[in-house]
C-alpha cells in the first residue's frame, strides 16, 4: 500500500525538480539577455554623454552655448528614446520567459495530476 502511494509522489517530485531546472535555466538565459541589452544601452548613452561633455567643455562664450544647446536637447531625447526602447525589449523578453516557465509548470502539473488520478483509481479498484 505504501509503495502504491509513494511512487506517484516520487514521480511528481522528480518531474517537479526537472521542471524547476528548466525554469531556472530559462530565467538565467533571460537575465543574461536583459543584462546584455541594458549594458549595451548604458554604454551607448555614456559614450554619447562623454562626447557631448567633451564638446561642451570647449565652449567659451554665449554663442558657443547657443550652438551647443540643441545638441544637449538632442542628446537627452536620444538617450531617453534609447532607454525606453530597451525597456520595452526587456519587458517583452521577460513576458515571453514567464509564459514559457508557466507552460512548463502547467504541463508538469497536468501530467502529474493525470498520473495521480490513474493511480488513485487503481488503488480504489484494488480494495
Where residue 61 falls (left for φ over 0; alpha for ψ -120 to 50; beta otherwise) is beta
Identity of the highest mean pLDDT range in 2-6, 102-106, 114-118:
102-106
Q: Is the pLDDT of residue 66 over 50?
A: yes
Per residue in 62-82, is it b (16+ CB within 10 Å) or e — as a string?
A: eeeeeebeeeeeebeeebeeb
For residue 88, give the C-alpha cell.
520595452
Mean pLDDT value of segment 29-58? 96
d(CA 14, CA 73): 57
Distance separating alpha carbons of residues 92 and 58, to the nearest angstrom = 42
Q: Kindly indicate the confidence band of residue 120, based on its pLDDT and cuts at 50, 70 and 90.
A: confident
Please give the residue that has the higher pLDDT: either 16 or 34.
34
The secondary structure element, H or E, covering residue 90 is helix 62-126
pTM, entire model: 0.74
pLDDT at residue number 6 = 59
- Whether 5 shows a pLDDT value over 80: the answer reads no
Q: List, as own/partner pairs, every contact residues 56-62 make where C-beta atoms lie below 8 angstroms and the sequence separation is at least 24, other chains included.
A: none
Amino acid at each position: 500500500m505504501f509503495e502504491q502511494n509513494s511512487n506517484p509522489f516520487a514521480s511528481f517530485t522528480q518531474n517537479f525538480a526537472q521542471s524547476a531546472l528548466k525554469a531556472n535555466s530559462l530565467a538565467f538565459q533571460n537575465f543574461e539577455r536583459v543584462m546584455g541589452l541594458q549594458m549595451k544601452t548604458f554604454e551607448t548613452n555614456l559614450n554619447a554623454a562623454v562626447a557631448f561633455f567633451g564638446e561642451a567643455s570647449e565652449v567659451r562664450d554665449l554663442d558657443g552655448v547657443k550652438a551647443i544647446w540643441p545638441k544637449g536637447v538632442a542628446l537627452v531625447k536620444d538617450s531617453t528614446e534609447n532607454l525606453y526602447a530597451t525597456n520595452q525589449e526587456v519587458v517583452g523578453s521577460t513576458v515571453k520567459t514567464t509564459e514559457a516557465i508557466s507552460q512548463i509548470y502547467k504541463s508538469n502539473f497536468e501530467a502529474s495530476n493525470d498520473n495521480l488520478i490513474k493511480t488513485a483509481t487503481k488503488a480504489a479498484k484494488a480494495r
